[in-house]
Homo-oligomer: A and B are copies of this chain.
């Protein structure tokens, strides 16, 4: 079940067969549990590592030289953690547990083997990386060009879209493992201002966010506030080798 969650994002672009599945399962190392509030790794750590988030919520954060902290991304189960840092000699961001979380380290050599042996899986991983870029582009636009209420609306829709992808039964009410301080760090304002903004949204009957539980009261209003167009994953990536079947030869793997 956990592994199924971990490959859900790849399956959004193509169906995976048994051979694909085995290669991905092979990535999963021993589990590690991280308490809420603790860091899996800090920015600057070298060399950067790669992880698979199995359970719980985590966040990628960046700290300025004056101590200010910006949260760059919320990671949900099935997400890869730490990938962007792989292009650099040291970790570019810190990985923080927003709730108790379970992660599995992925040896880089084993991750590289995917690119070595499966054009299909490499293609899908590339697509997910592109998807991540668009997610952060949308967040950047939201933070750069809108006020706090709009940013919160965009964040909430973003989270809801991502949660509903792994659990379609989620309705308009669901748990969000973020404190108001976390939200502040995500949307780039202070905790005090987040608090006032949430109260305003509640009064306006748009969004009710209390005690870690969210209730979407007026989705249309949220969409209008967020101001961003809806995003739909491509349903045709046949130009990538996603249908090739290059048999795996386990013996040749290291």
Contact = CB atoms under 8 A, between A and B. Distances in A.
Interface of A: 13, 43-44, 47, 60, 62, 64-66, 68-70, 72-73, 83-90, 92-93, 108-109, 111-112, 115-116, 119, 122-123, 125-134, 136-141, 143-146, 187-188, 224, 227-229, 231-237, 239-241, 244
Contact of A240 (B112, B126, B224): B112
Given A68-B145, A111-B239, A233 B89 contact: yes
A49 to B, nearest CB: 11
Given A70-B144, A87-B131, A88-B233, 4 more contacts: A83-B133, A86-B237, A87-B134, A88-B134
B72 A140 contact: yes
Given A112-B241, A123-B115, A72 B141 contact: yes
Nearest to A241: B116
Contact of A62 (B44, B111, B137, B233): B137
B188 A234 contact: no
A116 B116 contact: no
Nearest to A111: B239
Contact of A119 (B60, B116, B130): B116
Contacts of A84: 130, 133-134, 137
A140 B93 CA distance: 12
Nearest to A139: B140
B141 A88 contact: no
Given A133-B132, A239-B109, A244-B116, A234 B87 contact: yes
24 contacts: A62-B138, A64-B141, A64-B228, A70-B145, A83-B130, A84-B130, A84-B133, A84-B137, A87-B128, A87-B131, A88-B131, A90-B232, A111-B239, A115-B123, A116-B119, A116-B241, A122-B126, A125-B126, A129-B130, A132-B133, A133-B136, A136-B140, A144-B187, A145-B188
A178 to B, nearest CB: 15
5 shortest interchain CB distances as A-B pairs: A144-B188, A108-B239, A70-B141, A64-B227, A87-B130
Contact of A122 (B115, B132, B133, B141): B115
A211 to B, nearest CB: 25
